[in-house]
Chains A and B, each alone.
Chain A
Amino acid sequence: MIQRETLINWALFALLPATALIALWMDEPFIITLATKVAILALAGVGLNIALGLGGLVSLGHAAFFGIGGYAMGILASHAQSYAPLMQTPVLIEGTTSMPVIWLVAILASALAALAIGALSLRTTGVYFIMITLAFGQMLYYFAISWPAYGGEDGLSIYVRNGFPGLNTLDPIQFFAVAFVVLAAVLFFAGRLARAPFGLALAAARQNPERVETVGLAPYRLRLVAFVLSGAVTGLAGALFADLNRFVSPTMFSWQMSGEIMIFVILGGVGRLFGPVAGAALFILLEHVLGGLSDYWHVYLGGLLLLVVLFARGGMIGLAAGREVAHD
């Protein structure tokens, strides 16, 4: 029997490309751009959800990885644009405009950062963890603002979107396809992850770390690996987001960005695989509907968020699917 939540997930998932295709047919390229934005922000949320939903790690510093991914793209592409190599000694490293290469670099760079930040932060728990991740995010934010080499506060503009073999990424629908396929692949991976041995142990460590220790597994290492995977996915989303805008700036590192990524996860439902997709879609929709209604739309957004937190604890998918069912 197909569970109700699974049904909702697939419906949601299909909605995104359907929207993009209808927009293509109606010649509304901006709607495609919005759908692309949803896909990319959802990807960032899926990344956070690995740490937050599965591992119970409330990171208020995921903008750090989002920003690192963004700057990986910005730095590589700007060097390619100006034909100035990134590094000459000891090995020659040149910039690139190839998306797969940029993604790889973004994933590696943000995973590395997550390893360092996680190794230090995971020594703490609870509020301390929330605050230390916030502090690391702020550290990178201030660094990015005052680091003149790549534009400082002004950020970096990349005038032409990076390339993907065989595709014209400047065509909105083709870029959407790229982002959507990446999202689908990561969702598939995250779904498998949650059911794999690692996911079982990680989620157990969230529910009861003592239990996990007693069966001879170290929660710290489980969490660290989860944090690294989570950071890597969010970093990948950052690289795509930078490509969507053809622009990176330190605001990608800001703590409001961390808050927004967290909002996508919560709006959709913490720990639910497709939660971030629903959350990001709703957020973007609200931004455009409410933003058109009033200059003060943040008031309504805040009110809505408050209602979700207070009265709809499973998020939107939780509301629609009813109580979470344990499954094995």
Chain B
Amino acid sequence: MSLILLIEQVLNGLQFGVMLFLMAAGLTLIFGVMGLINLAHGSLYMVGAFAAAAVAGLTGSFVLALLASLIAAAAAGALVELLVIRRLYDRDHLDQVLATFALILMFSEGTRWVFGSFPLFLDIPAALAQPVSLPGGILYPAYRLLIIAIGLAIAVGLFQLIARTRIGIQIRAGEADREMIAALGVDISKLYTLVFALGAALAGLAGALVGAIQSVQVGMGEPVLILAFVVIVIGGIGSIKGALVGALLVGLTDTLGGVLLPPLFATFMEASSASSVGSSLASMSIYILMAAVLLYKPTGLFGSTT
């Protein structure tokens, strides 16, 4: 395999990882602050993608579509938080898993009810539809570079938000001690709604960004959701830094595993079965990674040990 191809695949892994980070950041924030497992996070991803597709279809503007994805997902998130999620904070994880599983069923079939059974159309803006030349003669799609840039910018923004702002202080206080934050005079239920909406908006944005190069369809959120869970478990639940590291690890493992394993097996196996066995193993690779990390550190790479 040539070096250029390898660099391109690393970029692909990076882009995938950055996209996973957008999903995982919200999940891990919600868990860190509210102690809630939200299986319905993938549905918010789907809501963002559908909102973007609908708005892009009406206005033709990609920027408006992205904006719509943020707003729609945040609104859906806030609504769900107010109606359902806030009743689950003092419940055990089992109740949370079940209730948010129920939300998935409702979101998925509800979306199909409204938008029909066929995938929706959402395309990237024409200006970004061409590849750009990178140093070293690498041709890389401009849009994917944009995703990497947006993802990294949001990562930086999130770190700043949490380190510097008032809300960030409240979030950190909430992670450390739920009673303390109430003592600080913060309206805790408002903070929870806000954090949930923020997480939802990030998921919605990820859905819209990815929907433009993949397909906008019902059920698109679940595979990503499971990967995002793998990410935050590897990184340590509640840690934004862990989510970033975990997302990049998973993105790179998944992409490079799929590319490198089949040829690796081909060195000692017959070609077509090597391709088949290699890709089977590649699809299991991130779960193997996760199991390995948890065996080494049962609370993830950056998880608190208590």
- A residues with CB within 8 A of B: 52, 58, 60, 120, 123-128, 130-132, 134-136, 138-139, 142-143, 145-148, 255, 259, 262-263, 266, 270, 296-299, 301-306, 309-310, 313
State the Cβ distance, A68 to closest chain B Cβ, in Å: 16
Question: Is B105's CB under 8 angstroms from A305's CB?
Answer: yes
Say whether, besides A60-B97, A310-B84, A132 and B290 are in contact (CB < 8 Å).
yes
State the Cβ distance, A206 to closest chain B Cβ, in Å: 11
Which segment, of B51-59, B182-190, B292-300, faces chain A?
A: B292-300
Query: Which B225-278 residues sit within 8 Å CB-CB of chain A?
Result: 226, 229-230, 233, 237, 276
- Give Cα A123 to B299, complex, Å: 10
Question: Is A262's CB under 8 angstroms from B294's CB?
Answer: no
Complex partner residue of B113 from A135, A296, A301, A303, CB under 8 angstroms: A296
Contacts of B294 in A (CB 8 A): 120, 123-124, 128, 132
Contacts of B300 in A (CB 8 A): 128
Question: Is A58's CB under 8 angstroms from B97's CB?
Answer: yes
Tell me whether B125 is interfacial, beta carbon within 8 Å: no
Say whether, besides A128-B233, A299-B110, A303-B106, A142 and B284 are in contact (CB < 8 Å).
yes
State the Cβ distance, A195 to closest chain B Cβ, in Å: 23
Question: Is B279's CB under 8 angstroms from A130's CB?
Answer: no
State the Cβ distance, A194 to closest chain B Cβ, in Å: 18
Say whether, besides A124-B294, A302-B105, A303-B106, A142 and B99 are in contact (CB < 8 Å).
no
- Give Cα A219 to B29, complex, Å: 31
Instruction: Known pairs A145-B283, A304-B102; list 13 more (Cβ under 8 Å).
Output: A124-B294, A124-B299, A125-B298, A127-B233, A132-B291, A139-B287, A139-B288, A139-B291, A259-B101, A266-B98, A296-B109, A296-B112, A309-B95
Complex partner residue of B284 from A143, A255, A304, A305, CB under 8 angstroms: A143
Tell me whether B130 is interfacial, beta carbon within 8 Å: no
- Give Cα A139 to B230, complex, Å: 12
- Give Cα A143 to B285, complex, Å: 11
Contacts of B37 in A (CB 8 A): 127, 130
A126 to B, closest residue via Cβ: B93
- Give Cα A60 to B109, complex, Å: 22
- Give Cα A270 to B101, complex, Å: 17
- Give Cα A143 to B282, complex, Å: 10
State the Cβ distance, A252 to closest chain B Cβ, in Å: 17
Tell me whether B108 is interfacial, beta carbon within 8 Å: yes
Say whether, besides A139-B287, A302-B109, A128 and B280 are in contact (CB < 8 Å).
no
A131 to B, closest residue via Cβ: B233
Say whether, besides A132-B233, A263-B98, A127 and B104 are in contact (CB < 8 Å).
no
State the Cβ distance, A131 to closest chain B Cβ, in Å: 4
- Give Cα A298 to B106, complex, Å: 6
- Give Cα A266 to B93, complex, Å: 13
Tell me whether B94 is interfacial, beta carbon within 8 Å: yes
Question: Is A262's CB under 8 angstroms from B97's CB?
Answer: yes
- Give Cα A189 to B124, complex, Å: 60
Say whether, besides A52-B94, A127-B237, A146-B280, A134 and B102 are in contact (CB < 8 Å).
no
Question: Is B105's CB under 8 angstroms from A298's CB?
Answer: yes
Binary per-residue interface labels of chain B (77-107) against chain A in the complex, 1 for a CB within 8 Å, 0 otherwise: 0000000100110010111011101111110
Contacts of A301 in B (CB 8 A): 102, 105
- B residues with CB within 8 A of A: 31, 37, 84, 87-88, 91, 93-95, 97-99, 101-106, 108-110, 112-113, 226, 229-230, 233, 237, 276, 279-280, 283-284, 287-288, 290-291, 294-295, 298-300, 303
A140 to B, closest residue via Cβ: B284
Contacts of B233 in A (CB 8 A): 127-128, 131-132, 135
Question: Is A120's CB under 8 angstroms from B295's CB?
Answer: yes
Nearest first, the 10 A-B pairs at minimum CB distance are: A302-B105, A146-B280, A302-B106, A305-B102, A298-B109, A139-B287, A306-B102, A302-B102, A142-B283, A309-B99
Question: Is B103's CB under 8 angstroms from A130's CB?
Answer: no
Question: Is B230's CB under 8 angstroms from A131's CB?
Answer: yes
Contacts of A259 in B (CB 8 A): 101
- Give Cα A108 to B12, complex, Å: 43
- Give Cα A237 to B96, complex, Å: 26
Say whether, besides A131-B229, A299-B113, A306 and B298 are in contact (CB < 8 Å).
no
Complex partner residue of B93 from A130, A255, A313, CB under 8 angstroms: A130
A53 to B, closest residue via Cβ: B94
Question: Is A130's CB under 8 angstroms from B97's CB?
Answer: yes
Question: Is A146's CB under 8 angstroms from B298's CB?
Answer: no
Complex partner residue of B280 from A143, A297, A299, A304, CB under 8 angstroms: A143
Contacts of B84 in A (CB 8 A): 306, 310
State the Cβ distance, B286 to closest chain A Cβ, in Å: 8
- Give Cα A306 to B233, complex, Å: 26
Among A127, A145, A266, A304, chain B packs the most CB atoms within 10 A around the CB of A127
B238 to A, closest residue via Cβ: A127
Question: Is A309's CB under 8 angstroms from B287's CB?
Answer: no
State the Cβ distance, B283 to closest chain A Cβ, in Å: 4
- Give Cα A126 to B92, complex, Å: 9
Contacts of A127 in B (CB 8 A): 31, 37, 93, 233, 237
Contacts of B284 in A (CB 8 A): 139, 142-143
State the Cβ distance, B167 to closest chain A Cβ, in Å: 24
Say whether, besides A58-B97, A296-B112, A128 and B105 are in contact (CB < 8 Å).
no
Contacts of A120 in B (CB 8 A): 291, 294-295
Contacts of A124 in B (CB 8 A): 294, 298-299
Among A138, A296, A305, chain B packs the most CB atoms within 10 A around the CB of A138
State the Cβ distance, A192 to closest chain B Cβ, in Å: 25
